[in-house]
Amino acid sequence: GIRDKLVTGVQACALPICICRCCHNGLVAFLSLSCIISASPNHPQSAFLATKGETFMEPQPMRVVLYSRVSTNKQTTENQVLELKQVCQRNDWTIIRELTDNGISGSKGRADRPGFDELHKMVARKEADMVVVWSIDRLGRSITDLVSFMFEMEAKGINFYSHQQAIDSRTPAGKLSFAIFSAIAEFERSIIKERVCAGLARARANGRKLGRPSNVNANTAVAAKLLREDRKSTRLNSSH
């Protein structure tokens, strides 16, 4: 009957089932509500078709933005972009934007990288579902900046895919990679802090005066001293 066909359709999806109880002509049907969320576009049963009522739910294509970068003008991003396009084609991802930084070092921040700056803006505006790069070091060489950008994507609900490292933030392994990068960034910050404190302690021990250098020269210091003495003598005279 209708129930058997519905159960068969749910089993064919081979997906996690969120059960919802609903009555139809005295029968209890168990519908898979997770098809539209969890179904892969490549799965032959990615669209769930209910026997009664022709209920059809089709998952939306993944909107992705490609980012590529090379450090010198003698290099090219064409190889990166070609591979990423092939990945998107295999996964049925829709490319909505291609951003590139040519001849710019990954150690530079977003202010010096127009493509990376635009990528930040697209993430802030949540204009894509996933950021796709050829390798994770194409985003940047600084672990701290890299993790900061990843946390920004995570806060906006935007996924991340790195082709060379096979990192997909939608998978448990991808989430583990995020946690590892976060721990490395925290370790890097701690090391830098320890080095700074050690340098300041050594400078104090050598008798160096810390802080911002004064821009007051000898003539200004003498003039200031004379002005203070003049004000002091003026107050003494007025008191008598």
Which residues are annotated as catalytic? Answer: 71
Amino acid identity, position 20: C
Q: Is 133 exposed, middle or buried (0-12, 13-18, 19+ CB in 10 A)?
A: buried
- In angstroms, what CA-CA distances link 221 with 34, 92, 209, 225, 229? 76, 72, 18, 6, 12
Question: Sheet containing 159-162: which strands, arranged edge to edge?
Answer: 93-101, 62-69, 130-133, 159-162, 167-168
User: H-helix or E-strand containing 175?
Assistant: helix 172-205
Neighbours of 102 (CB within 10 A): 15
**Residues 57 and 123: beta-carbon distance below 8 Å:** no
87: Cβ–Cβ under 8 A, 6 or more apart, which residues? 93, 132, 161, 163
- How are beta strands 167-168 and 159-162 bridged, if at all? antiparallel
Q: Beta-strand (E) ranges in 102-139? A: 130-133
The token duo for 64 is: 């992705």
